[in-house]
Structure 1
Amino acid sequence: MWEMNGTEVAIIGMSGRFPGAASVDAFWEMLCAGRDAFVPLSDEQSLALGADPRFLQMPAFKRVMCAMGGVDQFDPDFFDIPKSFANVMDPQQRIFLECCWEAFESAGYNPSAGGDVVGVFAAADQSSYLIFNLIPEMPRLMGEITIDDMESANSNDFVASRVSYHLNLTGPSYTIKCGCSSALVAVHNACNALLEEECDMALAGGVSILVHKLGGYLAEEKDFHAKSGRMQPFDKDASGFIRGAGGGVVLLKRLEDALSDGDNIVAVIRGSATTNDGGDKAQFSSSSVSGIAAAAIEGLAVSGAHASSLQYLEGMGLAWPTDDHIEVRALSHAFRADGALENEFCLLGSPKGNIGHLSAASGIAGLLKATCAVDRGFIPKIANLEHPDPKIDFPSTPFVPVLENQEWPESNGPRRAGVNIRGAGGTNVFMVVEQAPPQERQTQRRAAYFFPISARTPTALATIRENLATFLTEPKQRLQPADVAFTLQIGRKPFAHRMGWVATSLEELIEALRGDEAPVAFRGAHEVSESVDPVFYYGSVDESRLLAELHFIHDEPICSTMFINLWQRAGLNNDGGLGFLKRVKETNLDGLEEVDKAVAHLLACYVITDWWRFRGVTPRAVVGQGLGDLVAAAVAGAAGLPQMVALLRQCLQAGGEVGPDDLPVRFKVPELTWYSGLIGGDSGFKGIPVPEYIEHYRAGACKKDEAFAEIENAGFMYIFDVSGKDQPSGVEPALEANGLRVAHGPFTDHFILSQVAELWLAGVDVQWKQFYGEDHPHRVALPSYPFERQRCWVDRQSATRP
């Protein structure tokens, strides 16, 4: 059973980069394969990576690298950072910034959308890049960068603030510094900030890059560094740790909010606690049984989870015999204190045998591994663990070190794991993570969906297209078209270079993604701009158009309500708007008088206009032809709706001179520019006499060419046929020859989406959520933006590139 107490926090997005793994999925694959990232080096390679030549003569020097690739690479243009500044930025700041963006996109959120208060809780080591690369080159760099800029670009005080600045996040933002437990303390603080409602979402994690450790390390007899050249957590031959590199971030949200918002919940943090050892240990950097145990006892209590319900524990696993022994002893004490008296019921793991010790980022690596385990129902073995240390006496503890990969099926409740970490100064953290509760998924209701992609450059756009096609064809994917479309629409920042496809299924989308082009494909390159707001066009009434309008309104609940309200405002007969819609649905237009059809067309266009507005498609001007000109006048606000209905009736009456006493309305200056297809030009600002207008209407006057000419002269780019029609109205060729685009077609899902696609490609800020009505699609994890990285690095004079 999934039991909730209201203090749970959902992990809705995650990202990471580690040695041998450029993403969380790659990290998980590496863990499951049991691979490690400890690379032996030759003398030449060590020297090329910056090792001191004197070290090569020392027996204690280990020619081993556990480095993350691409630390010298960054995409400054993506974040609008000058290249000169990016060159001197600590790679920790750069990698953490990229990870935060990827965590947002992993969750299906556009970091630039705004609306939510987002906090940033970061952890990072001191900048070795500043010490070993920048300070020696200071005289040369002073012509390119100021001291203040160099300080802010390399101080770990500003890792969180850097993210808040570049992503425009306004929640609490600070960096945690307490040694190896820093990243998990950052997550702990982020959870508390969410529960205290200091923010709506929170980014939390850590990063650690030591550029001077790339070429190898010294492993003196009495220090903690591995003498064997590999890390072996909980092994009888463990001889210490190897410094790795990497970083990771989770995006967090209160569980109740994540459930109601349809978020992609990867796992749930039930609770956590942090303590310090105080003086109860051998020396400052030593572990403490009492300190670690206290954090675990408190963490279990806060989470409301009994120790016996934890089936897996992600340990520190520092691979130093004394430290590993103290950790297991302390956690055993905590489990026993919580009443878990059985032995060997909880599997014990650690990622350090794969990626080394990540210092300030260690906790986030453990959390990401535990999160993947509870989510995917699989527990990877501990890499390089061959013979569990007999001095730990595992059979008398609750724990069993994982020697082989194991499936983790669901039992009577959610899969649940603990994560333990401690810092050299004594700051301990214990966190309980569990499988996400089941979420209801709606079946697909729409006939088609629009799948947009965009990028800063054509090259990145092509990569996104390729990555999406590859991702969707993976056997593990079980996605709904609505969820994919929804995530691409609202979970990605819209950039200038754009493409999109209207498709009825993911199979059809994959075919379109992999094809050269398709009839339903759209392509454009436009920035968001007010100048692309369209002119709304309203045509004359005909039965096919009117039926499409009324059937659409009948089937869209929000439109039905609007139509009924307008019917009442217009003072129409007692049949009622709902009764009218039902009658049309059942009998089409049989028995309707022409005037009734005309009035219905006016009201329908009014409703559909508001329907489009609600979705972000807002006109800056209107134009009409025939009866559509009256609709345009009504939408523009040239008169109130009841008056426009009365005017319509009078226009449809045959013959008779119109006197002052017969006038149902006087035109006023409209709220929108009204280009009249009857009078010609910008009618709203010419004070058209109503009698003259009625006479023109009755005479069948047509000055649409003059109206369209003024539209062209005003610089509009797009004419939008509001309700659609099977055939074009005849004005398209001349207009399109002059650069105006005119959309027309039957009022179906495909037509609506095609209209939206054209507008979005042109730069309209479409309100995608409003297109789903009573449907509630979910955000899903899709491939993130492909950064176009370039080398941003200052070389040390004594070394070549990393």
Structure 2
Amino acid sequence: MSCRFPGVHNPDEFWRLLRDGKSTIGTFPGHRAEGPHRTSHPDAATVNAGSFLDSVDGFDAEFFGTAPAEAAAMDPVQRLGLELAWEAVEDARMPASALAGRESDVVVGAAPSGYELLRKLSGSDREDHYAALGSSGALIANRVSHLLDLRGMSFCADSGQSSSLVSLALACERIRSGAVDTALAGGVHLIVDPEAGLGLANLGALSPDGTCFPFDARANGFVRGEGGAFVLLKRLDLAVADGDHIYAVVRGWGVASAGASSRMPDPSPGAQAAAVLAALRCADVAFDDVDYVEAHGTGTRLGDPAELAGLREVFRETGRSRPLTIGSVKANVGHLEPAAGIVGLVKAALCLDRARLVPQPNFRTPNPAVPDFPADFEVLPAARPWPGAPGRTLRAGVSAVGMGGTTAHVVLEQAPERDRAELRTRDEESTSTGALAVVPWVLSARSEPALREQAARLRELVAADTSLSAADVGHSLVSTRSSFAHRAVVLGGGREEALAGLELLAAGGDTARTVRGVATEPAGPVVFVFPGQGSQWLGMGRRLYAESEVFARAIDACGRALEPWLDWSLADLVTGAQAAPSPADGDAVVQPALFAMMVSLARLWRSLGVVPDAVVGHSQGEIAAACVSGALSLRDAARIVALRSRALTELAGLGGMTAVAAPRAWVEDRLEQWSGRLCVATVNGPASVVISGDPEPLDEFAALAARDGVRVRRLDVAYASHSHQVERIRDQVLEAAAGVSPRRTAVEFHSTVTGGALDTRLLGGSYWYDNLRSTVRFGEVVETLMRERGGVFVEVSPHPVLRVAMEETADALANAPVVVSTLHRDDGSAGEVLASLAELHVRGVPVDWRAVFAAHRPRRIALPTYAFQRRRYWLTAPDDTAMTDPGPTGHTSEAGPGTRTARLDSESAVLDLVCAETAVLLSVRDADLTGPDLVARSIETFKDLGFDSPTAVGLRNRLTAAAGVRLPATVAFTYPTPQRLARHLFSLLEPTTPDEPRTADGPAPESRSDDDLYALIDRGYV
């Protein structure tokens, strides 16, 4: 559910208002009185009393993807409807994308706000491209359907003051019929000009006291109210199955018309009784089982007695044996007219959800027009628990009555006990399964200010409720909220650390545990990169094996695949168990262990939604890459790595490898003197090379490099991979890979042997010898991928050994790809993986955050709704709605509403006019913009200033009216800056000879051809 009233922004705040018996009724805010002119009508005080929102001109156009001009043209009831619909979906604890594309209805009750009069007085109705869309009542529902991509019925109902409850009944009927299984029903009401209520005052419906007294002896009319509410309806069995929070169940509904039974607008007790009886039949419940009715309760002299007479008729028809508790929310928030029914329904649902009845404001003495009132009715002076025996189902009715005689009634009952019991069990389980060591709190918004406010709202909520666990908050953020471009991930080691991170984020700051970014569409593939040796460390999988079931299962699977060729436990080694061998025990241990780590880490990445489009392996890392891509089975890959690493032990002590921080050309130039004894083993990046060969030449090369100031480092490897020495074990390596059956796979395999993409069916026996003997062309492959494809590069290893080289390659490119690692020898925990996952997420890579919480059975809790960043979008009526002044050429020109004539006797005066009128049109986007501001920017194009085609037409209309000359619709694009347009306009105002064309800077507008216009369209101006 969602709701909005003065000072009330959500159902929780509404509940506090109801529980405390408070009211939002006051007077029309003075700062809003800029619409149509006020009068001295004797009922002015009456219509200015009501429940009015402080402002209705604000709207987050960016969030809703609305152009500024369109936002200003939209009736504010449309804007409010969009916000409330979005908030209702968020309150349902589901991302909006969960509804997209579904056959879901949107039904809304609404009425005109009076904005159309303002549109006419402002003159925008003559030039407003969006006026038709902005004024249509149907567009309230249609815009919601468009926003959420809902494909069911989209309908705006008008049955007067019962509109929103009739809408809800229609939605329920559609769900019951099987046409849809979800629907949004709501109602909105705004009052642009209070004096539009004079008709109601003349009718005697409004309270001259400015107070609403439902059921009271003082009842003399209602006061009008602004705001609205939306509810998301879902088929009950689906809601229970999905574990949704259910406020209440709509058990039955009925709609009836007064027909000719009473004189319009007098209420009809018979019609109201008929609607209640129809709802009871639909619900299949007895009236005796209904404890409370949220009545229409307008507090009018005729309305309350008629409604209670109708309820007494239901008493007689059903044989009810006990008094009925009644109430009316109109004493709290005023009469929201078309939205009144849905507001009453939200109140009743909150009461059922909390099993508590609330007091009725302004009730002192029963209305004497209702004989023997206490015999049948009770009005509560204070809040109290809902009466009834334990285990008894609580029920309430809700009524709404239209002035034309259409009455709707709905029967609600509390959520099923089974549902509440399941939720309690789920809550208990969620608190008993242990906590994550690092919990990600994922936030997003459409703008940076909104992101900061989201953080502030979340911190306020969590700080105020110590029962909320960090895991519950994290799970709810990723499972119930939509993801937008501006993103942040706060990684907390606990609740307090996360709260501190939110506080800094809200203030615009950062911590080392906060990852921020603006997501874009990922440009290029996700590339998994698997290094060779060097990333191993003792106990490299210990923490992750304990923290991640996915990783642990993958290690165990690798252990089973390696078992035929190992005499030690893989799980013991990667977890650092005492009985296990150490990575220092040789390559026959290191390479199988690293292979298993990399394959298992890749499995973990996949479980988090990060799936490779391509793989790149470095030396032995190609075996893991082939396995992860699906080209080799786990058993085949395990055999190759185990037997090949065993063969390598024969080379121990015969050679070595040295890392050189220099370009390949520099290294190769100096290796010539050791030809046949040293070679380039790997090229990792622009200035990262490894050489391989005999020990003595390696020492001599190191001395030479030191004299040239080049850094070198001897690697902790006892043999010379990728050198002539590998030829000694050729037969053993070919035997290790004999009989493998490589498969074709959808994941691209970029070979560092061949230097490019390779058909994975070629990864047979001889390839794995070439992989060990040839130069590793890693830097070349990565540079080509980054330059041609962009992409995201994930180093899948227990410690990043290639990330620096990849970052150096990326830094040389105009659009540097994203590069992340997995674990680090200083931190082998899941928290390190989550930090890299956050880096990918904030840059737009699809990830699955829900998988992080899957094993902990957390709750979906209520979170703050979106922090809309509203700006003013409003049509303004001028002080004088029509005026006639002498025109610049001495004649009188009639200017339309909102325009003016001016003395245009110089080019600078014309420029002032153009800039002033431009500022008026752009003020819907920037309220502080003035004509003098634009004079200083008059060489900027209208397009750069924010014009689109409708705005250009609007400027043409205003200049035509002000200057009294004919201008084409495309004049702002033909003369694309204010300066050039002013020069052209001034040329049209100057006296000319009969044969002289009235034009400047180009042909006269009248002579511009269709081809010219199409050229402007092609260039994007029109």
Question: Per the alignment, in what secondary structure is the counterpart of residue 392 of structure 1?
Answer: coil
Residue 180 (structure 2) pairs with residue 99 (structure 1): no
Separation in 2 of the partners of 1:546 and 1:610? 16
Task: Kindly provide the amino acid, as one letter, of the partner of residue 459 in structure 1.
Answer: P
1:453 corresponds to which of 438, 443, 448: 443
Q: 1:417 touches 1:432 (CA, 8 Å); kept in 2?
A: yes
Deviation string 1:471-525 (CA, Å, 9 cap, x unpaired) is: 21224x6323333212211322222221111224333321221234333211112
1:701 deviation in Å? 6.2
Alignment of 1:785-800 (within 5 A): 785-797=866-878
Residue aligning to 1:314: 294
Question: Per the alignment, in what secondary structure is the counterpart of residue 473 of structure 1?
Answer: helix
Residue aligning to 2:524: 531
Q: 2:225 touches 2:333 (CA, 8 Å); kept in 1?
A: yes
1:351 corresponds to which of 315, 329, 338: 329
Task: Kindly provide the amino acid, as one letter, of the partner of residue 477 in structure 2.
Answer: L
Residue aligning to 2:796: 722
Question: Per the alignment, in what secondary structure is the counterpart of residue 112 of structure 1?
Answer: helix
Deviation string 1:98-138 (CA, Å, 9 cap, x unpaired) is: 11111112222222355662524333434243541223445
Q: 1:92 touches 1:124 (CA, 8 Å); kept in 2?
A: no
Separation in 2 of the partners of 1:189 and 1:519? 53
Separation in 2 of the partners of 1:165 and 1:250? 17
Residue aligning to 1:117: 102
Residue 749 (structure 2) pairs with residue 674 (structure 1): yes
Separation in 1 of the partners of 2:214 and 2:544? 69
Separation in 1 of the partners of 2:621 and 2:503? 42
1:750 deviation in Å? 1.1
Separation in 2 of the partners of 1:642 and 1:132? 77
Q: 2:539 touches 2:574 (CA, 8 Å); kept in 1?
A: no
1:206 deviation in Å? 0.8
Residue aligning to 2:820: 742
Q: 1:289 touches 1:327 (CA, 8 Å); kept in 2?
A: yes
Question: Per the alignment, in what secondary structure is the counterpart of residue 230 of structure 2?
Answer: strand
Question: Per the alignment, in what secondary structure is the counterpart of residue 651 of structure 1?
Answer: helix
Deviation string 1:145-167 (CA, Å, 9 cap, x unpaired) is: 1xxx4223222123211111132
Deviation string 1:739-762 (CA, Å, 9 cap, x unpaired) is: 553323344231232121111011
- For residues 41 and 361 of structure 1, do their structure 2 counterparts lie closer, same or farther at Cα, with a shift above 3 Å needed? closer
Task: Kindly provide the amino acid, as one letter, of the partner of residue 529 in structure 1.
Answer: P
Residue 767 (structure 2) pairs with residue 780 (structure 1): no
- For residues 229 and 596 of structure 1, do their structure 2 counterparts lie closer, same or farther at Cα, with a shift above 3 Å needed? same
Task: Kindly provide the amino acid, as one letter, of the partner of residue 84 in structure 2.
Answer: C
Task: Kindly provide the amino acid, as one letter, of the partner of residue 468 in structure 1.
Answer: L
Q: 1:374 touches 1:435 (CA, 8 Å); kept in 2?
A: yes
Residue aligning to 2:350: 372
Residue 284 (structure 2) pairs with residue 284 (structure 1): no
Task: Kindly provide the amino acid, as one letter, of the partner of residue 199 in structure 1.
Answer: V
Separation in 1 of the partners of 2:644 and 2:309? 92
- For residues 707 and 584 of structure 1, do their structure 2 counterparts lie closer, same or farther at Cα, with a shift above 3 Å needed? closer
Separation in 2 of the partners of 1:602 and 1:115? 42
Question: Per the alignment, in what secondary structure is the counterpart of residue 225 of structure 2?
Answer: coil
Alignment of 1:595-634 (within 5 A): 602=595, 605-606=598-599, 608-634=601-627
Q: 1:289 touches 1:330 (CA, 8 Å); kept in 2?
A: yes
Deviates more, 1:716-725 or 1:757-766: 716-725
Aligned length: 773
- For residues 727 and 410 of structure 1, do their structure 2 counterparts lie closer, same or farther at Cα, with a shift above 3 Å needed? farther
Separation in 1 of the partners of 2:207 and 2:39? 21
Residue aligning to 2:514: 521
Residue 127 (structure 2) pairs with residue 143 (structure 1): yes
Residue 318 (structure 2) pairs with residue 243 (structure 1): no
Residue aligning to 1:133: 118
Deviation string 1:359-400 (CA, Å, 9 cap, x unpaired) is: 110011111111222223443322222322133246554431
Residue aligning to 1:253: 234
- For residues 75 and 473 of structure 1, do their structure 2 counterparts lie closer, same or farther at Cα, with a shift above 3 Å needed? same
Residue aligning to 1:9: none
Q: 1:681 touches 1:710 (CA, 8 Å); kept in 2?
A: no
Residue aligning to 1:7: none
Residue aligning to 2:471: 482
1:46 deviation in Å? 9.9
Residue 506 (structure 2) pairs with residue 492 (structure 1): no
Residue aligning to 2:340: 362
Residue 39 (structure 2) pairs with residue 53 (structure 1): yes
Residue aligning to 2:382: 404
- For residues 350 and 211 of structure 1, do their structure 2 counterparts lie closer, same or farther at Cα, with a shift above 3 Å needed? same
Unaligned stretches of 5+ residues in structure 1: 1-13
Separation in 1 of the partners of 2:784 and 2:45? 83
Task: Kindly provide the amino acid, as one letter, of the partner of residue 471 in structure 2.
Answer: A
1:171 deviation in Å? 2.4
Name the TM-score, length of structure 2 as normaliser: 0.68
Task: Kindly provide the amino acid, as one letter, of the partner of residue 761 in structure 1.
Answer: V
Q: 2:252 touches 2:282 (CA, 8 Å); kept in 1?
A: yes
1:249 deviation in Å? 0.5
Q: 1:535 touches 1:716 (CA, 8 Å); kept in 2?
A: no
- For residues 167 and 435 of structure 1, do their structure 2 counterparts lie closer, same or farther at Cα, with a shift above 3 Å needed? same
Separation in 2 of the partners of 1:455 and 1:60? 43
Deviation string 1:375-430 (CA, Å, 9 cap, x unpaired) is: 23443322222322133246554431122333448851354322122222332222
Question: Per the alignment, in what secondary structure is the counterpart of residue 385 of structure 1?
Answer: coil
Q: 1:547 touches 1:588 (CA, 8 Å); kept in 2?
A: no
- For residues 797 and 128 of structure 1, do their structure 2 counterparts lie closer, same or farther at Cα, with a shift above 3 Å needed? farther
1:574 deviation in Å? 12
Q: 1:108 touches 1:780 (CA, 8 Å); kept in 2?
A: yes
Residue 494 (structure 2) pairs with residue 505 (structure 1): yes
- For residues 222 and 519 of structure 1, do their structure 2 counterparts lie closer, same or farther at Cα, with a shift above 3 Å needed? closer
Residue aligning to 2:959: none
Q: 1:67 touches 1:214 (CA, 8 Å); kept in 2?
A: no
RCO higher in 1 or 2 (8 Å CA, sep ≥ 6)? 1
Task: Kindly provide the amino acid, as one letter, of the partner of residue 152 in structure 1.
Answer: L
2:730 corresponds to which of 657, 662, 678: 657
Percent of aligned pairs with the same amino acid: 26
Question: Per the alignment, in what secondary structure is the counterpart of residue 658 of structure 1?
Answer: helix
Residue 93 (structure 2) pairs with residue 108 (structure 1): yes
1:448 deviation in Å? 3.0
Residue aligning to 2:16: 29
Alignment of 1:763-778 (within 5 A): 763-778=844-859
Q: 1:274 touches 1:427 (CA, 8 Å); kept in 2?
A: no
Separation in 2 of the partners of 1:725 and 1:799? 74
Separation in 2 of the partners of 1:383 and 1:496? 45
Alignment of 1:216-227 (within 5 A): 217=198, 223-227=204-208
Unaligned stretches of 5+ residues in structure 2: 648-727, 882-923, 925-1022
1:239 deviation in Å? 0.7
Q: 1:202 touches 1:253 (CA, 8 Å); kept in 2?
A: yes
2:456 corresponds to which of 466, 476, 486: 466
Separation in 2 of the partners of 1:79 and 1:194? 28
Q: 1:172 touches 1:199 (CA, 8 Å); kept in 2?
A: no
1:581 deviation in Å? 6.5
Q: 1:47 touches 1:799 (CA, 8 Å); kept in 2?
A: no
Name the TM-score, length of structure 1 as normaliser: 0.85
Q: RMSD between aligned alpha carbons?
A: 3.9
Task: Kindly provide the amino acid, as one letter, of the partner of residue 784 in structure 1.
Answer: T
Separation in 2 of the partners of 1:374 and 1:136? 47
Alignment of 1:563-712 (within 5 A): 590=580, 602=595, 605-606=598-599, 608-654=601-647, 655-658=728-731, 663-665=738-740, 671-676=746-751, 679=753, 681-682=755-756, 684=758, 693-695=767-769, 703-712=777-786
Residue aligning to 1:157: 138
Q: 2:51 touches 2:224 (CA, 8 Å); kept in 1?
A: yes
Residue aligning to 1:67: 52
Deviates more, 1:371-380 or 1:783-792: 371-380
Deviation string 1:278-337 (CA, Å, 9 cap, x unpaired) is: 436321333232322232233234334443443332111111132212222322443554
Deviation string 1:50-70 (CA, Å, 9 cap, x unpaired) is: 4642514x6996542432232
Question: Per the alignment, in what secondary structure is the counterpart of residue 264 of structure 2?
Answer: coil
- For residues 123 and 703 of structure 1, do their structure 2 counterparts lie closer, same or farther at Cα, with a shift above 3 Å needed? closer
Residue aligning to 2:787: 713
Task: Kindly provide the amino acid, as one letter, of the partner of residue 329 in structure 2.
Answer: P
Separation in 2 of the partners of 1:316 and 1:186? 16
Question: Per the alignment, in what secondary structure is the counterpart of residue 281 of structure 1?
Answer: coil
